[in-house]
A and B are shown apart, each in its own frame.
Chain A
Amino acid sequence: MNDFAHLWLIPLFPFAGFLLNGILGARMPRRLVSIIGVLAPLASFVLVLSAFGATMIGAAANCPRCGDVTALTLPVVETLGPSWISIGALNVDFSLVLDQLSMVMLLVVTGVGFLIHVYSVGYMHDEPGYARYFSFLNLFLFFMTVLVLAGNFLLMFVGWEGVGLASYLLIGFYFSRESAANAGKKAFIVNRIGDFGFLIGIFLVLTTFSTLSFDKIAVLLAMSPDWQGTVLTVICLCLLVGAAGKSAQLPLYVWLPDAMEGPTPVSALIHAATMVTAGVYMIARTHLLFDRAPIALWTVAIVGAATTLFAATIGLVQNDIKRVLAYSTISQLGYMFLACGVAAYSAAIFHLVMHAFFKALLFLAAGAVIHAMGGEQDLRKMGGLRTKLPVTFWTMTAAVFAIAGFPPFAGFFSKDPILYAAFLQGTGGKLLWFVGLVAALLTSLYMFRLWYLAFMGEPRSDVKHHHANPLSMMVPLVILGILSVCGGWIGIERFSAYVFPVAAAHRPMPEGDPGIEIVLTIAAVLVALAGWLIADRLYRRKPERPAELAAAMPTGYRILLNKYYVDEIYDAVIVKPLFAFSKFVLGGIDLLLAGVAWLLAGIATFTGMILQRWQSGNLRSYAAWLTLGAAVLLLAAALWSGGWSASFHSISTHFTMNAAGH
């Protein structure tokens, strides 16, 4: 019974909000703009919730009290309107698919999205461009829901590009600031590299399967269970490039730290909770392909592990509160990739959801701190905010404990299965596990560093302008705080049974020993505790120690502080040569081509100027030229046929001979 035939409404509400606020917002009062901007995601969220409720009823088939409520069985597939592209065998529809995976994603996207919209009302209240902000935020939700609901690669790509556009617009929200405008461009261009890979992957899928629909690909794959093939590996590697671009993995992560130029709620929604997880979602969505491509899967795992460690080390020394969180996001996304790479897709999605809770909370709390400090983002100038911002402090504490992986907070339940799944993947898996464990230690360390620097100790600067945070900012913080504490209690077993009900059927996980699992769990918790203790020692008890450590290892510290000089290397290796080449093209080749064009045009004009004198309007001059031309042609014809005299001679001889003949 698939009566829930209104999936298209889910993206429609944010789109309507985008249109209303985008077109009329500047002329409407702020209160109305906020109402429209917040109602749109709320409506989508309620729709998704009702669908979720209906599926729960559908699952519990014999429910006595839900007589007249329509039950819903997943997956729901809706095809809107006529076919989108229909060329020969290729047929692409506007098909939306709601299955367990997209349901989870939608709940996160619209739910967290709604909370962040509410938060934005308070955070952005005195900013110019208020309506523009909300219309872009709604536009983002529209494209994100399209991405999640898409039933084929092409529609997913539309959403994929759309969220990139919204991200660009919102990173460059303060476009009058040059760094923000540049950050937006950087995000767009780096994402373009990933999108290129994604597109190539889509084309390869098209040539291989002659369809882009996820369902049909699954059917085709099921029909040939032994098919592994190079082409699948190549497809998956291309898709990985796309995912790495969107989800800020090595080597395409460079745009995400700069994306922090956008307003903080945008960082929370787009660059932490939802958009950047699109790559993980895409891999989970196409996991049937990845399952057939072990090499690609290992690449995913290695990229994820490398990124998680790499970003965590940079996060240790950053001083901008948002940048610490940005590197933390990259690191956590690396965890999700690592999980995908060891085929623990449900663990990846579980971590994605938990990460959405606590990372959105971290960003929103950081936003509350920045808001209260009057725009100050430097951790070194904070401190002692524990008493001044109690709600922010306590919710932030919940998020810090969650991301560090302390039980019973959310991060513990989602990080643990990832490490466990990695550990079970043979010798290489053990290495991945170790990298993940080290990254967990670093995560705990840099999060508690942030915690101590911002909230503990004494205020390090006398910012007088502490303004109180409004209720609209506090309520989302508290809700997300509760989720960060309790979200993980769902447990990975129940979650994975819900998300991938048939996952076990086609890819059995290696059997693990429950004893090993307990040992690994204890190790992970000990590592998190170690991180806390180190941070406590360095940033509370001996605040002078970090500076001494930095002085003791000047090279290492400088490399970390400058983020391994990756931006500088990219600048020297890619940007500068490209720029020089462009300049050469503009100055050399372009000038040459333009010169040739000008020369040709000049010749035409010049000859025209001369030739136009011929057109005198005088009949007799035309006749004279005509005659002259005819004479020249005749002469030429005569010369052509062997010279004038010869031909004349032959004619006359001919006549004479004829005359003599008669």
Chain B
Amino acid sequence: MNFLQHDVPLSWYLLLSAALFSLGVVGFLIKRNLITVFMSIELMLNAVNLSFVTFAYQWHEVRGQIFVFFVMMVAAAEAAVGLAIIIAVFRARQTLAVDRIDLMKL
């Protein structure tokens, strides 16, 4: 408990969170493979989780931590649905390049 306060300043956690989030955004924007795009989303979610936890600790607020659980739960569900969709898309098109997937119908 103490090491967080004394050894590493809080802003570092926030900077790390921001860096991870930015990486996620960049990955989302430039990657073509649908699975990589998906992983980038996970990265962004977890970056946000990190800042949640940080602030929750800072303000001695348990609600922030609870929120993180919710986010993880939703992310898990999203991963399940998302991966299923990815498999369905791949089966239909034999490709996972997001540029080619620009029609609502299969």
A residues lining the B interface (CB < 8 Å): 616-620, 623-624, 627, 651-652, 655-656, 658-659, 662
Residues A659 and B98 in contact in the complex (CB < 8 Å), given A623-B29, A627-B29: no
Closest to B2 in A: A662
* Residue among B10, B30, B101 having the largest count of chain A Cβ atoms under 10 Å: B10
CA distance in complex: A600, B1 (Å): 64
Q: Does B5 contact A (CB under 8 A)?
A: yes
Q: A623-B29, A627-B29 are in contact. Are A656 and B9 (CB under 8 A)?
A: yes
**Residues of chain A lying within 8 A (CB to CB) of residue B58:** 655, 658
- Residue numbers in A under 8 Å from B29 (CB-CB): 620, 623-624, 627
Which residues of the other chain, B, contact A651 by a CB distance below 8 angstroms?
11
A657 to chain B, nearest CB (A): 11
C-alpha spacing A655/B15, complex, angstroms: 13
Are the CB atoms of A659 and B10 closer together than 8 Å? yes
Given contacts A655-B11, A659-B10, contact A627 B25 (CB under 8 A): yes
Alpha-carbon separation in the docked complex, A620 to B102 (Å): 10
B102: contacting residue among A618, A655, A656, A658, CB under 8 A:
A618
Are A617 and B98 touching (Cβ within 8 A)? no
Interface string of B51-68 (1 = CB under 8 A from A): 000000010000000000
Q: How many residues of B contact A (CB 8 A)?
A: 15
- The secondary-structure label for the interface of chain B is helix
**Nearest B residue to A624, CB-CB:** B29
B20-47 vs A, Cβ < 8 Å mask (1 yes, 0 no) = 0000010011100000000000000000
Contact A658 B98 (CB under 8 A): no
Set of chain B residues within 8 Å of A656, measured between Cβ atoms: 9
Tally inter-chain residue pairs, CB-CB below 8 A. 32
Q: Give the distance in Å from the alpha carbon of A184 to the alpha carbon of B98 in the complex.
A: 74
Contact call B28/A623, Cβ cutoff below 8 A: yes
Residues of chain B with a CB closer than 8 A to A623's CB: 28-29
B99 contact set on A, CB distance < 8 A: 618, 620
Closest to B22 in A: A627
| Complex-state Cα separation, A651 to B103, whole angstroms | 45
Across-interface contacts of B11 in A (CB, < 8 A): 651-652, 655
Query: Please, could you name 8 A-B residue pairs with CB atoms under 8 Å apart, sorted by A?
Result: A616-B102, A619-B98, A619-B101, A619-B102, A623-B29, A655-B10, A656-B9, A659-B9
Is the beta-carbon distance between A620 and B98 smaller than 8 angstroms?
A: yes
| A662 vs B10: C-alpha distance when bound (angstroms) | 13
Scan residues 55-91 of chain B and give those whose CB is less than 8 A from a CB of chain A.
58
In the complex the two chains form, what is the Cα distance from A249 to B12 in whole Å? 99
List residues of chain B with CB within 8 A of the CB of A662: 5
Closest-CB distance, A58 to chain B (whole angstroms): 85
Q: What residue of chain B has the Cβ atom nearest to residue A655's Cβ?
A: B10
Min CB distance, A405 to chain B, in Å? 93
Q: State the CA gap A652–B28 with chains docked (Å).
A: 30
Q: Give the shortest distance, in Å, between A81 (CB) and chain B (any CB).
A: 59
B30 / chain A contacts, CB cutoff of 8 Å: 620
**Do residues B102 and A659 form an inter-chain contact, with CB atoms below 8 A?**
no
Tell me which residues across on chain B come within 8 A of A616, comparing CB atoms. Answer: 102
Which residues from chain A contact B102 at a C-beta distance below 8 Å?
616-619
Q: Which of A620, A624, A627, A652 has the most CB of B within 10 A?
A: A620
A651 to B25, CA, bound (A): 24
5 more A-B residue pairs beyond the given contacts A619-B98, A658-B10, A659-B10, with a C-beta to C-beta distance below 8 A: A617-B103, A619-B101, A627-B29, A659-B5, A662-B5
Task: Give min CB distance, A447 to chain B, whole Å.
Answer: 90
> Which residues of chain A have C-beta atoms less than 8 A from B28's C-beta?
620, 623
CA distance A618 to B97 in the complex (A): 11
Answer whether A655 and B9 are a contact pair too, CB < 8 Å, given A619-B102, A620-B99. yes
- A446–B6 alpha-carbon span in the complex (Å): 125
Nearest Cβ in chain A — how far from B18, in angstroms?
A: 11
Q: How far is the CA of A617 from the CA of B105 in the complex (A)?
A: 12
A629 → chain B closest CB, angstroms: 12
Cα of A624 to Cα of B101 in the assembled complex, Å: 17
Give the residues in chain B near A627, CB-CB below 8 Å: 25, 29
Pick the 7 closest A-B CB pairs, nearest first: A617-B102, A655-B10, A662-B5, A619-B98, A655-B11, A624-B29, A627-B25
- A340 CB to closest chain B CB (Å) equals 80
Question: When chains A and B are docked, how far (Å) is the Cα of A652 from the Cα of B6?
Answer: 15
